[in-house]
A = this chain, B = another copy of it.
Amino acid sequence: MSPAALVSSDAATTVMVVVCLLLIPLAIAGIALINTGLGRSRSASHSMLASLCAVSVAAAAYFVCGFAIQGFAGGPAHVITAAGKQWNWIAAQPFFLRGLPLDGSPTCLVLWLELFSVALAALIPLGAGLDRWRLGAATASTALLAGLVYPLFAHWVWGGGWLAQIGYRDAAGGGPVQAVGGLTALAMAWILGPRRGKYSTDGALPAAIPGHNAVLVLFACFLAWTGWLGLNGAGAMLFGGAPIGALVRVELNTTLSAALAGLAAAAITRGRFGRPDASLCANGWIGGLACSSAGCLFFTPAVAALVGMVAGALVVFTVEWLDVYGEIDDPTGSISVHGVAGIWGVLALGFFAHAGAPVQPLAQIAGVATLLGCVLPLAYGLNWLLNRVSPQRVAPEGERQGLDLHELGAGAYPEFVIHREDFLQR
């Protein structure tokens, strides 16, 4: 099996992949901005700085050991023999990319895609930990995600690992990027606990804590869209073997998925609350992007639109469900947007992709089971350990002050007058 599924390694194909890779930082910028805009102004600088540090640490950790663990299909790996078959479970590449020629081969393009993908995945838990996650702890947690958890699952999916062996397919990371990020966000929301004042003990509905800048949030949806065109395009070519011309399908599907998800969120929030909700529409749009990653290459446009529409609905309902019934405080809806919609995209690929193998649904379900049964416990366990070593949550005083003042010593908007009264009960 070749290092990656690229159907051809001629110059034009390489250029097309590189182009897509060059756009991914815009998705990273978009997610950072959405997290920040959906948080409070007193933690805005902290949120952006945490994003910058998380991207930096993720890149460094992936460079040091992540790629060694992930490897590539056909590369050196450790196997376990079970049921009479050899199961490839972890790569055995040298650390620090030693011996990997950076010459434009599919293998090193995969490295590049993964380095940027892991940086994107690292921002997803930051959204769930908003307004209470210490910068140092978030950085350490990111190192574990980018150096161990992400590469392990990505190896199984894209590195010739056992999920690839049973036929699991994922063009651009609905599972490895979106769902891994979203489930890590869930683990962090559990470990950190809800924000001060979110849930009262008298059985009232949880407080709504609106984001401090809806314009940045909605603007970031457009940026994320641009970046996702790159992300899905690169993945479809490197992991799906899409030729250049198939990018038209990939990008059309990505766009229709986001568009219909956004419209579904608008329609549902309007139906339920009488008014469309700007934050949930943004969440829906990004959920449409997240759910498009797995199947963008394999759907027809109409199916992509429908899958996106369902993702938009799922995001709206699960955000509310997690908030009200799950008592899980996820300020940006990361768990729903990336976790739920990502998993939905993985499953949809199994059921609705044209020209899929007959066992495709089973393989995709096995992938989701692995996410829930291995990745989530692993992410939870590692972060629980980290929390024992040094508490991940900021001191109550810091949360009252805002993380900007407490951890950075300066607010994000020192010249603007900010409301100091606290949020209202719903």
- A residues near B (Cβ < 8 Å) are 10-16, 18-23, 25-26, 28-29, 32-33, 36, 40-41, 44-46, 48-49, 51-53, 55-57, 59-60, 63, 96-97, 102-105, 108-109, 111-112, 115, 135, 210-216, 218-219, 221-223, 225-226, 229-230, 233, 243-249, 251-252, 255-256, 258-260, 262-263, 266, 273-278, 281-282, 285, 301-302, 305, 404, 407-419
Contact = CB atoms under 8 A, between A and B. Distances in A.
Given A33-B219, A210-B410, A278-B49, A59 B245 contact: no
B246 A44 contact: no
A416 B212 CA distance: 8
B229 A22 contact: yes
A416 B416 contact: yes
Contact of A215 (B109, B216, B248, B278): B216
A214 B256 contact: no
A256 B52 contact: no
B259 A104 contact: no
Contacts of A229: 22, 25
A13 B108 CA distance: 19
Contacts of A417: 416-419
Contacts of A412: 213-215, 278
7 shortest A-B CB distances, which residue pairs? A104-B245, A29-B222, A48-B218, A11-B12, A56-B259, A102-B249, A45-B214
Given A52-B262, A105-B245, A419-B415, A218 B45 contact: yes
Contact of A49 (B105, B135, B276): B276
A45 B221 CA distance: 13
A193 to B, nearest CB: 23
- Per assembly, the copies of the chain total 3
A255 B419 contact: no
A277 B29 contact: no
Contact of A53 (B46, B55, B63, B266): B266
Main secondary structure of the interface of A (DSSP, over half): helix
A33 B29 CA distance: 14
Contacts of A230: 22
Contacts of A409: 273-275, 277
A186 B63 CA distance: 36
15 contacts: A15-B16, A19-B22, A26-B226, A32-B218, A49-B218, A53-B281, A102-B245, A104-B246, A108-B248, A212-B413, A275-B409, A278-B410, A278-B412, A414-B419, A417-B419
Contact of A281 (B16, B23, B52, B213): B52
B63 A305 contact: yes
Given A60-B256, A60-B259, A245-B104, A408 B115 contact: no
A244 B97 contact: no
A103 B411 CA distance: 51
A57 B263 contact: yes
Contact of A22 (B97, B103, B251, B411): B251
Contacts of A210: 410, 414
